[in-house]
Structure 1
């Protein structure tokens, strides 16, 4: 059978607990389909046709059954689903390192917001997003969930470069160069959703910025539209103790309770950061089915606090993983974020077994897909899903000796070991070469922005 792409790999990590595979029946030598609980397959092959995974089977069988228009032999690599960066501000890569080592509100109010007010434009978002997309593809990210101004530009650049994006329809009470008030943000967001709703790689959740920047009336409207259009809602919540205390002084209640009373907490709601959580609030999130997006490196750098991820997972909450923006991280490295999530989670829980390697990998893949409402399409290497796939070379000295590929990926591998990336079957990174981005031209543009922003 002739197909588009056949990838023979040393290991395949499908991520989902039960993956359908094939074996040879001992009685008649015919292939048998069966589900296996193993999280790792050795000497297996992934078969892709028309952008989708159509088979996952032992390599010996695949060589007999399939002929690929393109065939990849990755003899020292692990194949796994592409990483899903569940919280980004992609264009803020242009602000990487410009205001480091400051408290969150000082960082925002005295540095980031003034720079954005001065320089925000379609060109800023276009070039910053291009830089972010290049960095993310090089690090194995195949889908990112964004929150920023000019979302139509972010969507345009994602489509141009072939990466999957969940482009947030940002809402904030304050005027910006993109919209003058919350009503205008919502109207422009709805128009963009209508324009993009059939695109195979782009989804459009609502993205109200935070409880302290969006008032009740627009939040109620967002809830109504999100329910009608079946759209997720993506929002910073309980990022710092200061934010929570301010809300209590202003309204007499904690932000999460206010959002719950407005009807926002649901299986369609993604709460980002969540460093300040009581046991009752963890229970509330679990009962409503809301998701948490954990950004450990950004939380550490801004000293925002420690999200009790082990407690949340134990309570049945789906926890995804995000990098936040490069201005507060300072990278978009999901391998590094996985490692930090696992290590920090252990320390916060005072339990070395709290966040195992496989749990961290799920947070970076299938859990992100669930949070975005895309788990039917991405997040695992399952037959029928989109072929969003990455290959990590484990034959480097840094990942030797190799006893457990999953542990080595989470605790030892670097993003430089990501050699190949496919999104919907399209080869975006081939042996560390970006196929849709001109690096020389991109570096030139970024150099021009550095000169402007440092004036």
Structure 2
């Protein structure tokens, strides 16, 4: 008999939810990981004897599944958590958020907010996030140091913001950022135009040319509120999504965030173009923006991922919480208890979110060849027992503090409930300093 193969990590698990298309729930499985990738998965008695692991975990009461992919976030806004609550979107933006950003959200301020966001996300099982926010060049180092995977969406808008003078300047800075991001295989770059109502036709034309030249995906807030639709129709006679289609922007590389206001023509454009949708149910509910027709979109074959949006409009970055809201909301809106069952909600938070942001061939599933981005959740708790179906426990009953381990590329970011790369006490002190800075300005 040949000697066991030396590997990086071996996990023995009570349950494994690999989140492949057939959506199985596997029991008493082992996962072998080496050089940052999954190399084997199968019954413990078959897999464990084959390997000698540097680190070996026996997770006897745990469910192991892919790490969550938070497909839309504004990580630096974590420092604005609770800053302007209970307001409609445009009042929230124009009178509170944009003025606060102009005063504070630059450089190290954004980097510290991103560190806070990453600590929260790791503690609740997220391994990848898409970040559309200011100062993207200042968050590259913190993200790499933390070990998470991220898509950085550069903030593009027609008027001056702390990051750029105008849309064209933002495109120039995006091109420059490509060289900074390129050396890091855990980072990807995307264009992040804010929304149709803040981007002119000339800017859309520039974006089209840049996208054709650079090949980057596009993430954009689209059809977030009814007012957005009415303003566009009054101005151009068209709906925003139709305007984006005319500009040549829709397609598999376009990530449309929110999409709470869709009619039959919008649904057809989404289906014909294979545009991906990113659903942010809690933010949409809190801002009273509307509800994305998730059931109908999924029925027509559209990829629908899940995101939290920023902590300023959610107010947390907990994907367990977001999954449960998405599942319950889909049932309530459709009046069909079978809409978005637990396993489909899990798929949205993992496999489908990865596909939505162009990482579906690397993360979001547990199978040989995929990156070893995964989490372990202890289901031996009063609020999740008895476990008849682990997918039900994960979506409807889990407290995110039951996440005990998180790995990216097989390296631990959370071990036995403790962050391995972030000094939590020091981070809390830094956040308090930032809060005091804002308070002294009379803005918080």
How would you bin the TM-score normalised by the shorter chain?
A: over 0.9
* Change in 2 beyond 3 A, CA 1:38/1:216: closer
1:12 is the counterpart of 2:13: no
**Which deviates more from structure 2 when the two are superposed, residues 215-224 or residues 64-73?**
215-224
1:317-345 deviation per Cα after TM superposition (whole angstroms, max 9, x unaligned): 10000000000000000001000000001
Q: Is the 8 A contact 1:81 1:379 kept in 2?
A: yes
Provide structure 2 residue ranges, at least 5 long, that are not aligned to the other structure. Answer: none
Cα RMSD between the aligned structures? 1.0
* Change in 2 beyond 3 A, CA 1:423/1:331: same
> d(CA) in 2 for partners of 1:139 and 1:327?
18
> d(CA) in 2 for partners of 1:150 and 1:38?
39
> d(CA) in 1 for partners of 2:200 and 2:182?
27
Match of 1:25 in 2: none
1:287 is the counterpart of 2:272: yes
Pairing partner for 1:155 from 129, 136, 140 = 140
Pairing partner for 2:84 from 95, 99, 118 = 99
| TM-score normalised to structure 1 length | 0.94
> d(CA) in 2 for partners of 1:165 and 1:220?
27
Match of 1:121 in 2: 106
1:238 is the counterpart of 2:223: yes
How far residue 38 of structure 1 moved from its aligned partner, in angstroms, is 5.6
Paired residue total = 436
Match of 2:190 in 1: 205
Report SS of the residue matched to 2:437. helix
> d(CA) in 1 for partners of 2:183 and 2:368?
22
> d(CA) in 1 for partners of 2:213 and 2:171?
14
Match of 1:274 in 2: 259
1:196 is the counterpart of 2:181: yes
1:180-201 deviation per Cα after TM superposition (whole angstroms, max 9, x unaligned): 1111100001111233124210
Q: Is the 8 A contact 2:101 2:162 kept in 1?
A: no
Match of 2:393 in 1: 408
Report SS of the residue matched to 2:248. coil
> d(CA) in 2 for partners of 1:428 and 1:328?
26
> d(CA) in 2 for partners of 1:216 and 1:383?
45
Pairing partner for 2:29 from 44, 53, 65 = 44
> d(CA) in 2 for partners of 1:63 and 1:374?
29
Report SS of the residue matched to 2:151. strand
**Which deviates more from structure 2 when the two are superposed, residues 243-252 or residues 267-276?**
243-252
1:111-141 deviation per Cα after TM superposition (whole angstroms, max 9, x unaligned): 1111111112101111000000000000100
How far residue 280 of structure 1 moved from its aligned partner, in angstroms, is 2.0
Match of 1:2 in 2: 6
Match of 2:44 in 1: 59
Match of 2:168 in 1: 183
| TM-score normalised to structure 2 length | 0.97
Report SS of the residue matched to 1:168. strand
How far residue 158 of structure 1 moved from its aligned partner, in angstroms, is 0.8
Q: Is the 8 A contact 2:137 2:180 kept in 1?
A: no
How far residue 223 of structure 1 moved from its aligned partner, in angstroms, is 2.0
1:233-268 deviation per Cα after TM superposition (whole angstroms, max 9, x unaligned): 000000000111111111111100000000011010
Report SS of the residue matched to 1:76. strand
1:62-103 deviation per Cα after TM superposition (whole angstroms, max 9, x unaligned): 221111010011000011000000000000000000111111
Match of 1:21 in 2: none
Q: Is the 8 A contact 2:23 2:343 kept in 1?
A: no
Q: Is the 8 A contact 1:419 1:430 kept in 2?
A: yes
Report SS of the residue matched to 2:196. coil
Report SS of the residue matched to 1:397. coil
Q: Is the 8 A contact 1:154 1:167 kept in 2?
A: no
Pairing partner for 1:69 from 54, 61, 72 = 54
How far residue 228 of structure 1 moved from its aligned partner, in angstroms, is 2.9
Report SS of the residue matched to 2:92. helix
> d(CA) in 2 for partners of 1:134 and 1:159?
13
Match of 1:338 in 2: 323
> d(CA) in 1 for partners of 2:376 and 2:139?
26
> d(CA) in 2 for partners of 1:293 and 1:332?
15
* Change in 2 beyond 3 A, CA 1:260/1:38: closer
* Change in 2 beyond 3 A, CA 1:411/1:383: same
Q: Is the 8 A contact 1:155 1:165 kept in 2?
A: no
> d(CA) in 1 for partners of 2:215 and 2:109?
31
Q: Is the 8 A contact 1:289 1:317 kept in 2?
A: yes
> d(CA) in 1 for partners of 2:356 and 2:116?
25
How far residue 229 of structure 1 moved from its aligned partner, in angstroms, is 2.6
